[in-house]
Amino acid sequence: MGRIVISGASGDLGRRVTDLLLKADPHVELTLVTRTPEKLGQRQTQGFRVSRGDYRDADSLDTAYSGADTLFLISGLNLGRRVSEHRTAIAAAQRAGIRHIVYTSVGGVQPNNPALSAKDHYQTELDLRASGLTYTILRNSLYSEIVSNVLVAPAAATGLMKQATGNDFLAPVAKSDVARSAATCLLQNERHAGAVYEITGTELLSFHDIATIGSEVHGVPIEYVPVSAEERLAFFDSVGIPRTYDPNMPPSADGHMWASDELVSAEVAIAEGYQAILSHHVKHITGQGPESLRSVMERCRSLRYDEIDAAVS
């Protein structure tokens, strides 16, 4: 097993996967690449190789990826711009002699999927296939923690969950299961070469089902009301969320940078059935089945989304 690069190592998934790799093999050779090395000061103190790397800066990636065999390419957040950012990372991996890339895509990647984020992932998946490197694609379903703490928890306060997600289904997945799947694919890259995995939770649920689970977990009635995309955009306008993602915009109260065109297009994609995917891939990859949405909700109910990390799951 050669050196593994975690690219995007200071984010939640990057940290979780780093922890899991070290747990599985304390001697694993790791390079932790991040735009903000100071956030990984503790790892540096522990003697790990921490390198500054930005998908918008090819030179930084040439240095950061050198000497590695496998790259964990954590998809960026710059909607629309990240296709070129990921291309920069893939090209840097080729120059560095990296053989295998594990990439975090999203469920329901198809050319007609209306979700703006899925369009980016669709193109990066094509770029990976054309790269000549071996790859493993993890098409991650919507995080259970987002469903639980961004969508359901606020609805527990008002009793009402209004979204443009229609009546179709999704199988939200716990971040810990995404992290376990990614760590295993990185450690066993030959076994998983060429695979496209649907990383889903335990069951297909509509938002009516999710509201019922939320009501039981929070002990208050929650009603789910499907609304139109226009209504949903108007709601986001009313709470000051910009329509279009701008990497320089200030984070909202929960510490994230949300843009309503991305959020609403993702909801419409659910309404149109693009997320209605249930697989056994988490168990196939890791040997252990995923955690249910109800369990994630119970575990995280008192936390803000950005307070949930590997320490609590």
State which of positions 141-170 bind ligand NAP (CB under 6 A). 142-143, 146
Beta carbons of 92 and 31 less than 8 angstroms apart: no
- The radius of gyration of the chain's CA atoms, rounded to the nearest angstrom, is 19
Q: How far apart are CA 16 and CA 37, in angstroms?
A: 16
Give the whole-angstrom CA distance, residue 69 versus residue 92: 12
124 contacts ligand NAP (rule: CB under 6 A): no
Residue type, 5: V
The verdict on 9 binding ligand NAP (CB under 6 A) reads yes
Stretch that binds ligand NAP, among 68-76, 180-188, 278-286, 288-296 (CB under 6 A): 68-76
13 binds ligand NAP (CB under 6 A): yes
> Is residue 14 near ligand NAP by the rule CB under 6 A?
yes
Residue 37 interacts with ligand NAP (CB under 6 A): yes or no: no
Q: Which of 76, 166, 226, 290 touches ligand NAP (CB under 6 A)?
A: 76
Binders in 233-262 for ligand NAP, by CB under 6 A: none
Which residue number has the CB closest to ligand NAP? 11
Q: Least distance from C-beta 234 to ligand NAP, angstroms?
A: 24
Query: What three-state secondary structure class fits 202?
Result: coil
Strand order in the sheet with 4-7: 49-52, 30-34, 4-7, 70-73, 100-106, 134-140, 196-199
Residue with Cβ nearer ligand NAP (9 or 102): 9
- DSSP result, 79-119: TTTHHHHHHHHHHHHHHHT--EEEEEEETT--TT---HHHH
Residue 208 near ligand NAP by CB under 6 A: no
Q: Which is nearer to ligand NAP, 146 or 233 (CB)?
A: 146
Distance CA 139, CA 103 (A): 8
Residue 66 or 223 having the CB closest to ligand NAP: 66
Is residue 85 a contact point for ligand NAP (CB under 6 A)? Answer: yes
Burial of residue 111 (number of CB atoms within 10 Å: 0-12, 13-18, 19+): exposed
Whether 222 contacts 159, CB under 8 Å:
yes
Q: What is the DSSP letter of 54?
A: B
Binding segment toward ligand NAP, per CB under 6 A, in 7-15, 217-225, 227-235, 274-282: 7-15
DSSP-derived 3-state class of residue 177: helix
Q: Which of 54, 125, 198, 262 binds ligand NAP (CB under 6 A)?
A: 54
Stretch that binds ligand NAP, among 50-58, 189-197, 225-233, 276-284 (CB under 6 A): 50-58
β strands within the chain, DSSP E: 4-7, 30-34, 49-52, 70-73, 100-106, 134-140, 160-163, 196-199, 223-226
- By C-beta, is 8 or 166 nearer to ligand NAP? 8
Compute the least distance from the CB of residue 221 to ligand NAP, in Å.
26
Draw the binding track, 103-122, toward ligand NAP (x: CB under 6 A; -: no contact). Answer: -x-x----------------
Query: CA quadruple 131, 85, 305, 113: dihedral positive or negative?
Result: negative
| Chosen residue from 18, 31, 124, 140 binding ligand NAP by CB under 6 A | 140
* Binding region for ligand NAP (CB under 6 A): 8-14, 34-36, 54-56, 74-77, 85, 104, 106, 140, 142-143, 146
